[in-house]
Chains A and B, each alone.
Chain A
């Protein structure tokens, strides 16, 4: 009885010392390892390239076909443009992030593959109205477009004049 109690005492003691040493070895190993922390506002985490963040639009490719707006299950895309022959005069292409659930269903139906979801995810505003984002990079007609429209108009006028003879 006494000898077994004594051996148990020694075993408890050595177990305690050994397990403490083991635990300290583990924490030391972690201590020497590189921390996994990402210093957020200064550096961004690697999102893996397939992240569905805030949309961006390649406006020069877009043909104002409304396919994305029709596909949207929460109806958050609205677009407005005037056609001048083949050229588009953009007025608005808004996406309401109050409603958008970043489901990517607007991206698939696009025939020109011009709407995408990027890696930007921090959409912070003080006002709800600011959550309605305009995806356009420019509004109205560009100089190039104006020139093309003018050329077409001139050609039309020429043809009209020619047809009148």
Chain B
């Protein structure tokens, strides 16, 4: 490991005698700031998109007034409102768990962004086990949610937390299994290396268009469905289910702590979409990229744009699904997870393994 783009930039601008630990600390701090800023802006945009898409799906307009142009600053106004709200902690709540839960949830969501390859040369950390790190960190969110539900001293919250526990542990299996076909195809856990293997002038090297498309497409849909459930998005939003549990695990949260849960949802949606983009849809690769010279500054800029566009498209599909399907019952969620997605994921995994073995033997 020789550092990321931030440490490269820093080492070029710092005086020569600067100690390495100082550089590492500074790079980590700046990187964290970048991630927090990026996630905040991302959540602002995604929440606005969610409201606009929800409106138009219901033949409405959505927010139109705040900020002038199509209510673009509605989310900003909401964020300011949340920041100025009173931070309520109930008398019976567990003081430690209640305070720790939003931090854990938010921290795990931010940590996911460390391994995402945004553009050539723009990645905070290229870990060899990148996608496993991502899955492991993503499941920390579940623990945070359970802590929130238990610490709130509220039966609705506890119900939400129990549902989250059941749902998240069930869907982590198909989620991880559906990642195995691309991992076998590219022979790597690193998102960066998988993305690099998909580069080509026309996009036909993307996993979903490759010769293994017949396992790529079903595994993509499986991953997407499991990621929906893992991120508590409708139709799997049982931990929240506002019509029965008020707001599920975050019923008792207000102000900034509530904002953390809100932010985490959109950050996790983007992270799941980004993993799908990196493994199936070619990551930052875009058609015609080979015509640019390798050192060109346009490559990271257009690459980041392509990556963001692909990931945001998947986020929009998640929003589209949310405003299409009604919420499932808990037993239906479990049935779908254990009886349908898990066997299908196992079958696809076996098919992908067979295909890759056959291709390797040629």
Main secondary structure of the interface of A (DSSP, over half): helix
Q: Which residues of A contact B55 (CB under 8 A)?
A: 35
Residue of A nearest to B56 (CB): A31
- Let me know if B59 and A27 touch, CB within 8 A: no
Q: Do A24 and B56 form a contact, CB below 8 Å, given A9-B339, A13-B340, A35-B61?
A: no
Bound complex: CA of A135 vs CA of B340, how far in Å? 72
Would you list 5 pairs from A and B whose C-beta atoms are within 8 A, ordered by A residue? Answer: A13-B340, A30-B59, A31-B53, A31-B57, A37-B60
Q: Which residues of A contact B64 (CB under 8 A)?
A: 39
Q: Quick check: is A20 within 8 A (CB to CB) of the other chain?
A: yes
Q: Quick check: is A44 within 8 A (CB to CB) of the other chain?
A: no
From B53, B61, B320, contact of A24 by CB (8 A): B320
Q: Do A35 and B324 form a contact, CB below 8 Å, given A9-B339, A13-B340?
A: no
Q: Quick check: is B325 within 8 A (CB to CB) of the other chain?
A: yes
Bound complex: CA of A24 vs CA of B56, how far in Å? 13
Q: Which residues of A contact B59 (CB under 8 A)?
A: 30, 33, 35-37
Q: Quick check: is A49 within 8 A (CB to CB) of the other chain?
A: no
- Let me know if B321 and A24 touch, CB within 8 A: yes
Bound complex: CA of A31 vs CA of B59, how far in Å? 7
Among B56-104, those with CB < 8 Å from A are 56-61, 64
Q: Which residues of B contact A27 (CB under 8 A)?
A: 57, 320, 323-324
Bound complex: CA of A52 vs CA of B64, how far in Å? 30
Bound complex: CA of A13 vs CA of B335, how far in Å? 11
Q: Quick check: is A23 within 8 A (CB to CB) of the other chain?
A: yes
Instruction: Tell me the count of chain B residues lying within 8 A, CB to CB, of chain A.
Output: 18
- Let me know if A23 and B56 touch, CB within 8 A: no
Bound complex: CA of A27 vs CA of B320, how far in Å? 8
Q: Which residues of A contact B324 (CB under 8 A)?
A: 20, 23-24, 26-27
Q: Which residues of B contact A33 (CB under 8 A)?
A: 59
Residues of A near any B CB (own CB < 8 A): 9, 12-13, 16, 20, 23-24, 26-28, 30-31, 33, 35-37, 39
Q: Which residues of A contact B344 (CB under 8 A)?
A: 13
Counting from the closest, the 6 A-B pairs by CB-CB distance are: A27-B324, A37-B61, A23-B324, A27-B57, A31-B56, A35-B61
- Let me know if A28 and B320 touch, CB within 8 A: yes
Bound complex: CA of A30 vs CA of B320, how far in Å? 11
Residue of B nearest to A13 (CB): B340
Bound complex: CA of A116 vs CA of B321, how far in Å? 51
Residue of B nearest to A41 (CB): B65
Bound complex: CA of A35 vs CA of B55, how far in Å? 8
Q: Tell me which of A9, A20, A26, A31 has the highest count of chain B C-beta atoms within 10 A of its own C-beta.
A: A31
Q: Do A23 and B325 form a contact, CB below 8 Å, given A13-B340, A28-B320, A39-B64?
A: yes
Interface string of B318-362 (1 = CB under 8 A from A): 001101110000000000100110001000000000000000000
Q: Which residues of A contact B336 (CB under 8 A)?
A: 16
Bound complex: CA of A33 vs CA of B325, how far in Å? 19
Closest chain-A Cβ to B361's Cβ sits at a distance in Å of: 31
